[in-house]
Structure 1
């Protein structure tokens, strides 16, 4: 709150200049009522302003990052399904940088990994 913004003009905070999604699906045919669906979903978000700089301090930039998810659903019959899911399989470092005014260098101010998640489930419709 308060202070003078460092940049007179800038992109919208939180808005990436580009966003790319790719979804690939494969559903082979089986005899009978069995079905299989395999999906891989890829996402890349460009760098975006995480925190707007004030009083001569530069903006904090959340650097571009890649996500890859995978989902497999196997239908034993119309009422029973098994689902296997993997999220954030790349598990790339989430990096935040800030340009230092005096040196012009970009410094990492924060970084972390969100982690990878796996789940398996069974569902039955009555």
Structure 2
């Protein structure tokens, strides 16, 4: 699928409703262009996705396209926004957590972003930062 040059960091500057509207508008324009048909994909309906940014949680609907020859599915919006398949957090939020961790504790970060200590721990490990606090299970 053709990748457009856009990132979630650009979108998060707006309020939540404008972000959702912008995402829906881009996805609808791609659907109407029928470019996906030319690339051998079939439309498989809409799915909802949630992820967290420094400005809170964003929920949006996106179209699922499936290519039977390649036996693979694709969410166009996830691709152009650069959001990995299993990620629940924006890159900007992950960067912020790493920077904040140098100055405040893990429990303070969990309260600030309303995420679990395990999520903070995993983000720090992913970014190569050794957490000072032990994991709490």
Whichever of the two has the greater Rg, that structure is: 1
> Which structure shows the higher strand fraction?
1
Q: With structure 1 as the length reference, what TM-score do the two structures score?
A: 0.27
Q: Which structure is higher in helix share?
A: 2
TM-score for the superposition, normalised by structure 2: 0.26
